[in-house]
């Protein structure tokens, strides 16, 4: 019996040490997110798991600001494009059962789909955003003309299925909600059930994800977070969106706790065989920067200091009033889930910092977003006042230029008719992020709105050079080129 004492003591010491480390990491994560909340950059719920075990979960800010109801780990948030990974699994499940094939044309399952396009686009193309179908959310006046109106899946696909393809299917990657909308419609055609029904019985019920589902605005849903947007530092209610529009591309809701159940199930064969599960996470095509796209997931090898590379599988989501991310590191069964209900924010930045904490790496501390202060100044004091404020703020170490925030502020000024001011904000973004195609695209749009075609062409050209997948920018350049020759 004496021989057993030493191993038992060592095990207890290791367990105690592991618990202390986990507590320390949880404290760092809480302090980090509390600071982001203080700076108006995170209002939502978070969950972090290490080695498959939850080490942190907490809500920050309000689920409902009018009633001061706090966010909690069981608060339900709209997921936006995180929904795509569920749609992808349903399609792969049908393929595993032999009910569909991934390498056949869309017209196999939607007989009335226009053959000119449908006969060239495969299910695999839809899953990997390589179909060439224009993204319906990028259509001019989409928010004004379509977003508020209810559609059946059969009717809505007809709004984009006759549009010319942006490129030959399979040729390149271009993110398209249209492709995932079509996948939901194909699920209905093949199963004879609604997308919602098949999703519920195939994933949510077996995994006991009782706080997840297809969101309907008219349904009374307990613990649902209200969606808000930031107008500079002012919070406003998010604009209405009929949930038939995002459909299989983005209409689901869930909680951080349910998404942990989802994450854990992806390590098992509860839903799919091992081979089918692996097919979800294959890097089929290069997407953004160093990221590749699988089926409903992006895959990237990220630097982890002196510890080499980490394979990260993740996806973000954005929908009126909500911004979300789920990030997995399968090698260590680590998970980060962040669900925010005040519109677009820097979840990627937060996710990077939490990952650094998990791996005992250095990370950047939160900083105030310069964009939030600049909006009011440019709006009220014009170009001169805004530029003077920028010169002061950029030397203040408590502030940082955040690309997404600055972009949103620029567009807000543009929508208010303050074109010169918008140009200045976009120029700041270009200066700060010279390798981002998106910032040049935005600046080009502002110059075009202001009537400066020469500068519009210069910036759209730079955007396309940096981001060859920018089909919208290419179209604008083509139009400008046509008008120039007339």
Same domain, 260 and 342: yes
| pTM of the model as a whole | 0.89
Report the alpha-carbon distance of residue 203 to residue 126 in Å, rounded.
Answer: 21
Domain-located, residue 451: yes
In this structure, are residues 370 and 431 in contact, taking their beta carbons and an 8 Å threshold? no
Domain-located, residue 64: no
Instruction: Choose the final residue of a domain: 358, 379, 409.
Output: 358
What's the pLDDT band for 144 if we cut at 50, 70, 90?
Answer: confident
Same domain, 265 and 303: yes
Domain-located, residue 43: no
**pLDDT value, residue 481:** 81
Same domain, 349 and 445: no
Looking at the chain, the whole-number percentage of residues with pLDDT higher than 70 is 95
Average pLDDT over residues 61-80: 98
Domain-located, residue 54: no
CATH number of 341's domain: 3.40.710.10
Same domain, 240 and 337: yes
Report the alpha-carbon distance of residue 329 to residue 355 in Å, rounded.
Answer: 9
Report the alpha-carbon distance of residue 257 to residue 264 in Å, rounded.
Answer: 11
Residue 285 three-state SS: strand
Domain-located, residue 299: yes
In this structure, are residues 432 and 401 in contact, taking their beta carbons and an 8 Å threshold? yes
Domain-located, residue 400: yes
Same domain, 85 and 117: yes
Each residue of 425-439: b (16+ CB within 10 Å) or e? bbbbbbebbeebbbb
In this structure, are residues 369 and 400 in contact, taking their beta carbons and an 8 Å threshold? yes
Same domain, 376 and 333: no
Residue linked to tokens 């009220």: 380
Q: How many domains, the chain?
A: 2
Same domain, 248 and 354: yes
Q: pLDDT by residue (tens digit) across 258-307?
A: 999 999 999 999 999 999 999 999 999 999 888 999 999 999 999 887 77
Domain that holds residue 411: 368-485
Same domain, 383 and 414: yes
What's the pLDDT band for 20 if we cut at 50, 70, 90?
Answer: low
In this structure, are residues 367 and 399 in contact, taking their beta carbons and an 8 Å threshold? yes
Average pLDDT over residues 216-236: 92
Q: Which residues pair with 311 in a beta bridge?
A: 301
Angle at 30 between CA 26 and CA 35, to 5 degrees: 150
In this structure, are residues 346 and 41 in contact, taking their beta carbons and an 8 Å threshold? yes
Average pLDDT over residues 328-357: 96
Same domain, 91 and 229: yes
Same domain, 354 and 385: no
Same domain, 245 and 388: no
| CB atoms near residue 464 (< 10 Å) | 21
Dig out the tokens for 61 from the structure.
Answer: 């800010």
Domain-located, residue 186: yes
Domain-located, residue 36: no
Instruction: Choose the final residue of a domain: 339, 358, 377.
Output: 358
Same domain, 262 and 226: yes
Instruction: Choose the final residue of a domain: 311, 334, 358.
Output: 358
CATH number of 372's domain: 1.25.40.10
């Amino acid at each position: 019996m004496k021989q057993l004492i030493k191993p038992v003591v060592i095990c207890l010491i290791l367990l105690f040490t592991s618990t202390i480390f986990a507590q320390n990491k949880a404290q760092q994560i809480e302090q980090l997110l509390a600071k982001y909340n203080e700076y108006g950059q995170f209002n939502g719920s978070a969950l972090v798991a290490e080695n498959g075990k939850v080490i942190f979960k907490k809500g920050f800010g309000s689920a409902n600001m009018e009633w001061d109801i706090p966010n909690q780990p069981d608060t339900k948030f709209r997921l936006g494009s995180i929904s795509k990974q569920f749609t992808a699994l349903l399609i792969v499940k049908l393929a595993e059962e032999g009910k569909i094939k991934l390498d056949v044309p869309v017209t196999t399952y939607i007989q009335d789909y226009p053959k000119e396009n449908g006969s060239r686009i495969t299910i695999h193309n839809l899953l990997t955003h390589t179909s060439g179908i224009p993204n319906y959310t990028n259509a001019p006046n989409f928010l004004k003309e379509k977003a508020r109106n209810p559609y059946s899946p059969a009717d809505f696909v007809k709004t984009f299925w006759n549009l010319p393809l942006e490129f030959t299917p399979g040729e390149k990657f271009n993110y398209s909600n249209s492709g995932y909308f079509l996948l939901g419609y194909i699920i209905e055609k093949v199963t004879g059930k609604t997308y919602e029904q098949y999703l519920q019985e195939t994933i949510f019920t077996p995994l006991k994800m009782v706080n997840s589902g297809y969101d309907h605005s008219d349904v009374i849903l307990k613990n649902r977070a209200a969606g808000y947007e930031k107008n500079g530092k002012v919070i406003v209610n998010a604009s209405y969106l009929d949930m038939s529009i995002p459909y299989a591309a983005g209409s689901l809701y869930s909680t951080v706790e349910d998404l942990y159940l989802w994450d854990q199930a992806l390590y098992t064969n509860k839903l799919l065989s091992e081979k089918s599960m692996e097919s979800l996470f294959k890097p089929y095509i290069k997407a953004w920067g160093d990221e590749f796209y699988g089926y409903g997931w992006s895959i990237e090898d990220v630097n982890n200091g002196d510890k080499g590379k980490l394979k990260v599988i993740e996806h973000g989501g954005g929908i009126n009033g909500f911004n979300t991310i789920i990030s997995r590191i399968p090698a260590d069964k680590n998970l980060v889930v962040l669900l925010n209900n005040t519109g677009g924010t820097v979840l990627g930045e937060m996710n990077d910092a939490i990952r650094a904490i998990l791996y005992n790496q250095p990370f950047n501390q939160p900083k105030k977003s310069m964009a939030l202060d600049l909006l009011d100044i440019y709006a009220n004091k014009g170009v001169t006042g805004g530029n003077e404020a920028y010169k002061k703020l950029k030397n203040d170490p408590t502030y940082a230029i955040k690309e997404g925030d600055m972009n949103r502020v620029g567009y807000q000024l543009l929508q208010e008719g303050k074109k010169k001011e918008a140009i200045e904000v976009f120029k700041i973004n270009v200066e700060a992020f010279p390798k981002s195609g998106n910032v040049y695209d935005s600046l080009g749009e502002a110059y075009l709105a202001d009537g400066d075609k020469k500068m519009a062409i210069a910036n759209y050209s730079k955007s396309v050079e940096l981001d060859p997948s920018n089909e919208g920018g290419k179209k604008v350049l083509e139009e400008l080129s046509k008008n120039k020759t007339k």
